[in-house]
A = this chain, B = another copy of it.
Amino acid sequence: MKQKTIDRIRKFTEDRDWNQFHSPANLAKSISIEANELLECFQWSDSDYDIAHVREELADVLVYCRNRLDKLGLDEDEIINEKMSRNEAKYPVDRAKGKADKYYNL
């Protein structure tokens, strides 16, 4: 995400004084709620979806994730790289290739 986009999200929240509602639990609920509005685009079909709607709901998820990163003072690249290191160790290429199994079943 570009710094300009991050700044726009922050300004949106600050201008409306909405930081007071962004408790850790409320933001977690919000991410789940938006994730499920995204899921609703695929409720009955995997292939027949409204791309305009998908764009909108995915954006909502990402905006609340950004709010959460800000709220907890987390760095997006840092937490993702930490997790990717763990994923790479859990799912070695030679055992995980082409399989959707959980790591404890590999």
Please classify the interface of chain A as helix (H, G, I), strand (E, B), loop, or mixed, using the class held by over half of its residues.
helix
Using A9-B80, A43-B33, A79-B55 as known contacts, say yes or no to A65 and B65 having CB atoms under 8 A apart: yes
Task: Give the chain B neighbours of A8 by CB distance below 8 A.
Answer: 81, 84
Bound Cα distance A32, B103 (Å): 20
Task: Give the chain B neighbours of A74 by CB distance below 8 A.
Answer: 55, 58
The interface size bin for chain A is 35 or more
Nearest to A38 among chain B residues (CB) is B28
Interface residues of A (CB under 8 A from B): 1-2, 4-5, 8-9, 12, 15-18, 20-21, 23-26, 28-33, 35-47, 49, 51, 54-56, 58-63, 65, 68-69, 72, 74, 76-77, 79-84, 86-88, 91, 93, 96-98, 100
Contact status A24-B46, CB under 8 Å = yes
Task: Give the chain B neighbours of A98 by CB distance below 8 A.
Answer: 16-18, 20
Contact status B5-A21, CB under 8 Å = no
